[in-house]
Amino acid sequence: MKILITGASGQLGREWVRYLEDSDHEVSACDSTALDITDREAVHSVLQTEEPDMLINCAAYTDVDGAEDNPEMAYSVNEIGVQNLAHACNRHQVLLIHYSTDYVFAGSVEDKKKLPDGYDEEFPPSPNNVYGKSKRGGEIAIEKFADRWMIIRVSWLCGQFGENFIKTMLRLSQEKDRLQIVDDQTGSPSYCFDVVEKTMKLVELDQTGIFHVSSKGAITWYNLTQEIIRLSGSNTALEAVTSADYPMKAERPAYSLLNTQKIENLGLEPISWKDGLKRLMNQLNELNHDH
């Protein structure tokens, strides 16, 4: 199969490139300098030249607080750019794989009571920040304009490449004696290696539509950090705080657990959040040794 990856320099894009290195697939990887997805003509021209069977879109504007200050930027990449990909994939008969986010849901405390197993794929999105709204715009564009497509929603995405919460906590736990971590936002991490493996299995199962890929277990950022500290052997003391103690530009969902029953029904077993964390920290150790 010929696979084109957009956004190939981000944490998920780099995970895909690494994953496909030893595969039989022919891979073209474009970062934002090689392909700006907001440029419609450029998108069509790349698809015409490359003739991929499948396009995996990892390009996104992901600065959640930055999106509040730069809504045009967020919408141009997350909605208009995705619309360009949807049109082009439709015209060139390419399967479009796209990644979206838990932030398309309201994430209210009421939802937490109503939906103890998390949001499923059928639940009506209702984002409450610019980033979530722009990502929802991209989903709608795909449903409207693409022919064969899959949208994978992930939450708390973290992997061995790029910046993410787990790598930040590992660094801070080396530098500081004490950390304050938010304990009133509940969700579950999606690990890049797991997201990539599950996406590929869904492709092999010839699936289309929307899927949630996350790990098993509802936790807070504080719970996650406790386990990071435990596994790393750091002596940093942790203090649980509320979101109100850390005012940020964008409103964060209090509850963004994704329900993974749909992939489970297809025989794809979600990784537990602790096992995923252990595996990711092993990957990070190996990376450090290689450098």
What is the reported pLDDT for 290? 80
What is the reported pLDDT for 175? 95
Compute CA 76 distance to the chain's CA centroid, rounded to the nearest angstrom. 18
What is the reported pLDDT for 205? 98
Q: Give helix 165-175 / helix 221-232 axis angle, nearest 10°.
A: 60
Residue 291 has pLDDT above 80, yes or no: no
What is the reported pLDDT for 288? 80
What is the reported pLDDT for 97? 98
Residue 287 has pLDDT above 90, yes or no: no
What are the pLDDT digits (tens) for 10-54? 999 999 999 999 999 999 999 999 999 999 999 999 999 999 999
If we measure between CA atoms, which residue out of 277, 9, 15 comes closest to residue 152?
15
What are the pLDDT digits (tens) for 56-77? 999 999 999 999 999 999 999 9
**CATH number listed for the domain at residues 2-290:** 3.40.50.720
Q: Do you know the residue count of the chain?
A: 291
Burial state string for 65-97 with b = 16 or more CB within 10 A and e = fewer than 16: ebbbeeeebbbbbbbbbbbbbbbbbbebebbbb
What are the pLDDT digits (tens) for 176-234? 999 999 999 999 999 999 999 999 999 999 999 999 999 999 999 999 999 999 999 99
- Active-site option among 61, 103, 119, 131: 131
For residues 15 and 213, is the Cβ–Cβ distance under 8 A? no
Query: How far is residue 160's CA from residue 259's CA, in Å, rounded to a whole number?
Result: 24
State the burial class of residue 232 (Cβ atoms within 10 Å of its Cβ: 0-12, 13-18, 19+): middle
Residue 164 has pLDDT above 90, yes or no: yes
For the chain, domain boundaries: 2-290
Residues with Cβ < 8 Å from 87, sequence gap 6 or more?
40, 145
Residues with Cβ < 8 Å from 85, sequence gap 6 or more?
6, 37, 43, 55, 57, 96, 98, 146
What is the reported pLDDT for 137? 98
Residue 8 has pLDDT above 90, yes or no: yes
What is the reported pLDDT for 246? 86
What are the pLDDT digits (tens) for 83-118? 999 999 999 999 999 999 999 999 999 999 999 999
The CA angle 62-147-155, to the nearest 5 degrees, is 30
**Catalytic residue at 99?**
no
What is the reported pLDDT for 273? 98
For residues 225 and 179, is the Cβ–Cβ distance under 8 A? yes
What is the reported pLDDT for 258? 98
Query: How far is residue 255's CA from residue 273's CA, in Å, rounded to a whole number?
Result: 16
What are the pLDDT digits (tens) for 236-286? 999 999 999 988 999 999 999 999 999 999 999 999 999 999 999 999 999
